[in-house]
Structure 1
């Protein structure tokens, strides 16, 4: 069957979102997922689904800590999906190439090339289940809940299991997630709102910022107008770093927030980048080492470099440790 064009997807999705997902019969795909076209068939994309005992209705299945430690995923140059599984890089998607990966502490979702369809990893190598169609943005929180922006950014959707999605907000520009179903979104003006996965119950907590990042505990950080980093503790914004730079993580209170400063003194850092850990009680600094970085839900950050390989910096250590060969692109959970 031929696939409709992307603009038609957006039109169908926008119209379908007027109907709450809760009125759909049990086991029926939501209007949001239905707009993505016909499900894949054949052996290339099996649609088997774990039982509810293994895979709760609205949550991704998570591998055991022993199997996936650290929680790190990668996309190779050939678009295969890899995981740091049992102490080595393991291909978990040689039949499931991905154009993008979206990971959180609770699991990982991959985008299928060409179609943009979303597949969730079943926590077993080479086993994936389709959960929906294309989206403008996808985020996974630290307990396996998935949130997405519709293709035309007209709605924020929460995944409810199977292929059922529920609208929880209207037009948005960006979304972020952390902790257990703590969601953040920005509107057209750039203002930041927070919600705990409840339709309509959004609260404005910030004006526009050059960057926001969510943490494992549901905290969020931002760059203020002067370029300093601030952390939201649920009530107030507190300045925690005075220099500009890209933020990773965001869990200032328990460790796990880093700032990458570019243009740094080359006599100290030859590649002109300084990585600084920012946390309550003080952190440490070291030079940057990679081309891509990603922070996980366990207070570690990772760097990938075509020469040095994949390196890990655990909060409080102040040093990079090599854990694997170069892979192309990394995403920590």
Structure 2
């Protein structure tokens, strides 16, 4: 006989009434389960479980969400418990926060695996996307994509030197997001130096940023949307193989690489808009994807199944504030897509620059590594300007990650020890943080 299995702990003894209220909720949620059983089921030891249930320490929000999902059978009760969990957790972290209104169901950026499938959510609309007859003038066959990859926005992960309170937004209008080495902690840079970082979430493996907001892939590849306040994250589904942000739209490539979907803007509901894809590219010019069979690139025209053939395969593509650029497969030339200047049936591409390694784009223009991958260049508007090739101007060493802002480019150094910023206005470099695993650059609304 094992003895007192599931024995309820004594009275909560947290430092605040809010911590005790959260502890009581946790005790009710785990009624009938010992700390040993909890430690065997979740990646937290017995001692911590005891402290969580006593209110001595605040349970991480992602772990609390996992408990609610695991221990609540029906959807209605789960939704109510999620709201209660979010309200109590927020109050425990900040006792001054009003607790009368329940916020959206948030989870932290390292939410563990849950039963959210990729592309097979019960709320996902499987439109006949990518299967309709192709428009003869625009494309030679229906859009069928597949593969994996990352959106053009550089992806995030870092730990800077200091993490003070919220900082003022810099004059550039650019925001940098990151998580620490190993994906520990999500941070936002809104300052002017290495002290301007604020912790806004827990762990994340990837980040995407754009006008639609900030999105993170947590543990288990769960896709989370940042609510604009530190610690406030809402689960919206599965991150799949890839995510792209373009305007107000959030798009994903399913984990099985057989469908492209757009988030419906609520819950975990997604609508299929295309077939298999190799990679997604999102930015101001729109959403683009490449074909898995021949590498051709297509542009989404705003309706499920409606994609326009744009060009043939390329070694790298990038989006700036208004243009799509492609590096040819031989990496000997970069071309710019000019859709309004195409004398049919000639594809609308014009030469833009010489050889390159990898392309990066954003509001600050087009950047690339040199063919060796060691140097970073910016595409000069004047091909006659000093540089290393046709229009390329060398600006410094390349790194492990590159993100392009409004007037700046951000580089995570090759050894991932520093994040540095280069400004088009001053042509100067400065350190803003580090070390880091990766970085993400954008200007999300936070709504």
User: Which of 346, 364, 368 is the matching residue for 1:259?
Assistant: 368
Is 2:358 the partner of 1:242?
no
Q: Cα RMSD (Å) of the superposition?
A: 3.2
Which consecutive unaligned segments of at least 5 residues does structure 2 have?
1-69, 72-111, 130-166, 341-347, 384-391, 443-447
User: Which of 223, 236, 242 is the matching residue for 2:327?
Assistant: 223
Q: How far is 1:73 from its partner? A: 0.6
Aligned to 2:176: 72
8 A Cα contact 2:262 2:272, kept in partner:
yes
Aligned to 1:58: none
- The structure-2 alpha-carbon separation of the partners of 1:138 and 1:83, relative to structure 1 and needing over 3 Å to count, comes to same
User: Which of 259, 271, 277 is the matching residue for 1:172?
Assistant: 277
Tell me which protein shows more helix as a share of its residues.
2
Aligned to 1:210: 315
Aligned to 1:132: 237
User: Which moved further from structure 2: 272-281 or 84-93?
Assistant: 272-281
- The structure-2 alpha-carbon separation of the partners of 1:162 and 1:307, relative to structure 1 and needing over 3 Å to count, comes to closer
User: Which of 376, 387, 406 is the matching residue for 1:275?
Assistant: 376
Aligned to 1:313: 422
Q: How far is 1:14 from its partner? A: 10
8 A Cα contact 2:253 2:261, kept in partner:
yes
The 5 Å alignment of 1:43-122 reads 69-79=173-183, 80-87=185-192, 88-93=196-201, 96-113=202-219, 115-122=220-227
Q: How far is 1:201 from its partner? A: 1.9
- The structure-2 alpha-carbon separation of the partners of 1:204 and 1:313, relative to structure 1 and needing over 3 Å to count, comes to same
Q: How far is 1:106 from its partner? A: 4.2
The CA distance in 2 between the partners of 1:89 and 1:295, in whole Å, is 19
8 A Cα contact 2:245 2:251, kept in partner:
yes
8 A Cα contact 2:244 2:281, kept in partner:
yes
Is 2:390 the partner of 1:286?
no
8 A Cα contact 2:169 2:190, kept in partner:
no
User: Which of 319, 337, 343 is the matching residue for 1:232?
Assistant: 337
Q: How far is 1:299 from its partner? A: 3.6
Aligned to 1:49: none
Equivalent residue of 1:12, what SS?
coil
- The structure-2 alpha-carbon separation of the partners of 1:67 and 1:144, relative to structure 1 and needing over 3 Å to count, comes to farther
8 A Cα contact 2:127 2:304, kept in partner:
no
The CA distance in 1 between the partners of 2:187 and 2:290, in whole Å, is 31
8 A Cα contact 1:220 1:250, kept in partner:
no
Is 2:252 the partner of 1:148?
yes
8 A Cα contact 2:208 2:244, kept in partner:
yes
* Matched pairs, number: 273
User: Which of 288, 309, 313 is the matching residue for 1:184?
Assistant: 288
The CA distance in 2 between the partners of 1:178 and 1:229, in whole Å, is 19
- TM-score normalized with structure 1 length: 0.72
The CA distance in 1 between the partners of 2:371 and 2:361, in whole Å, is 18
8 A Cα contact 2:128 2:272, kept in partner:
yes
- TM-score normalized with structure 2 length: 0.55
- The structure-2 alpha-carbon separation of the partners of 1:84 and 1:250, relative to structure 1 and needing over 3 Å to count, comes to closer
Tell me which protein shows more strand as a share of its residues.
1
Q: How far is 1:124 from its partner? A: 1.7
The CA distance in 1 between the partners of 2:128 and 2:238, in whole Å, is 18
8 A Cα contact 2:401 2:439, kept in partner:
yes
Aligned to 1:331: 440
Is 2:402 the partner of 1:301?
no
Q: How far is 1:237 from its partner? A: 1.2
The CA distance in 2 between the partners of 1:166 and 1:117, in whole Å, is 17
Q: How far is 1:156 from its partner? A: 0.9
8 A Cα contact 1:256 1:300, kept in partner:
no
Which consecutive unaligned segments of at least 5 residues does structure 1 have?
22-62, 264-271
Equivalent residue of 2:339, what SS?
coil
Equivalent residue of 2:207, what SS?
strand
8 A Cα contact 1:160 1:166, kept in partner:
yes
